[in-house]
């Protein structure tokens, strides 16, 4: 195993990274996925772990999530230096700073009503409204997958400027060009991340754009299942990262 560089870290495969920027997905990466978005359990030690990582790496610690920025901050007690929410549609680049959205389109109410009507046919399915889109969750009713996908596709067809994203037991309608890869690029262009090596960790197909962006910038992208097995494994590694 390589020797840990000053201010750096050792990856699970033994490689040494100097001056990392830690860019972390939330659900399925730092915390276990729950039956519904509101049912997640935050390990009591997680906010303090993130604060220790900030102190260790000069604040270069961010969360990149499909959840709204405000929801991430509430769950983690504002422990991350920066948060990119809604797959990059919203960005808070510093503690207490404003949440910035770059003039993205908003789904019309008729489209949201259509989504709610379809979801209402499947008890246990959920509609998650976001500032610039909507997510249809079917984790508790897998048999609803096809119907919810059809509803999401119909919304995309009726709403120019939006596209469909397949997530973990979720269909999400989001503005075109919004993905976690762009969130990685935006964060890495600003202090305290600029000039550091991006290390992104995620668990889902929605994280692959971020992994590709981190690698393209000379950094590293890791999938939970391949490198850590579970969110508990991620947290254990971060204790020494």
Q: In the chain, what are the domain boundaries? A: 9-102+178-238, 109-175
pLDDT on residue 7: 81
Cβ neighbors of 228 (< 8 A, separation 6 or more) are: 12, 201, 222, 234, 236, 237
Percent over 70 (pLDDT), the chain: 99
pLDDT on residue 228: 97
Q: How far is CA 31 from CA 42, 103, 122, 150, 198, in A?
A: 6, 31, 27, 30, 21
Q: What is the per-residue pLDDT across 3-27, written as a single tens digit (0 to 9) for each?
A: 778 789 999 999 999 999 999 999 9
Q: What is the per-residue pLDDT across 182-235, written as a single tens digit (0 to 9) for each?
A: 999 999 999 999 999 999 999 988 899 999 999 999 999 999 999 999 999 999
Per CATH, the number for 9-102+178-238 is 3.40.50.1000
**What are the two backbone dihedrals, phi and then psi, of residue 50, each rounded to the nearest 5 degrees?**
-65, -35
What's the CA gap between 3 and 139, in Å, rounded?
Answer: 43
Q: What is the mean pLDDT of residues 29-36?
A: 93
Percent over 90 (pLDDT), the chain: 82
pTM (global) more than 0.75: yes
Does 2 score more than 80 pLDDT?
no
Q: Tell me the catalytic residues.
A: 25
Domain 109-175 belongs to what architecture? 2-Layer Sandwich (3.30)
pLDDT on residue 104: 82
pLDDT on residue 141: 95
Does 181 score more than 90 pLDDT?
yes
Q: What is the mean pLDDT of residues 115-135?
A: 92
Q: What is the per-residue pLDDT across 59-88, written as a single tens digit (0 to 9) for each?
A: 999 999 999 999 999 999 999 999 999 989
**Same fold for the pair 9-102+178-238 and 109-175:** no
Q: How confident is the model at residue 40 (pLDDT cuts 50, 70, 90)?
A: very high
């Amino acid at each position: 195993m390589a020797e840990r560089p000053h201010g750096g870290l050792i990856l699970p495969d033994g490689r040494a990274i100097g001056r990392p920027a830690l860019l972390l997905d939330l659900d399925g990466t730092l915390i276990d996925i729950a039956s519904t978005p509101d049912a997640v359990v935050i390990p009591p030690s997680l906010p303090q772990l993130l604060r220790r990582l900030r102190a260790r790496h000069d604040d270069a610690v961010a969360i990149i999530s499909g959840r709204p920025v405000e929801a991430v901050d509430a769950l983690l007690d504002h422990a991350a230096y920066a948060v990119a929410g809604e797959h990059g549609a919203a960005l808070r680049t510093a503690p207490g700073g404003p949440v910035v959205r770059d003039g993205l389109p908003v789904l019309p109410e008729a489209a949201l009503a259509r989504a709610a009507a379809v979801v209402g046919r499947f008890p246990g399915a959920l509609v998650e409204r976001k500032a610039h889109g909507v997510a249809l969750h079917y984790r508790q009713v897998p048999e609803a997958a096809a119907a919810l996908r059809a509803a999401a596709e119909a919304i995309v067809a009726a709403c120019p400027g939006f596209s469909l994203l397949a997530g973990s037991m979720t269909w999400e309608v989001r503005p075109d060009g919004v993905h976690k890869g762009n969130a990685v690029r935006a964060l890495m262009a600003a202090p305290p991340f600029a000039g550091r090596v991006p290390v992104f960790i995620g668990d889902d197909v929605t994280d692959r754009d971020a992994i590709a962006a981190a690698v393209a910038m000379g950094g590293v992208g890791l999938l939970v299942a391949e490198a850590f097995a579970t969110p508990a494994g991620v947290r254990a590694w971060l204790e020494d990262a």
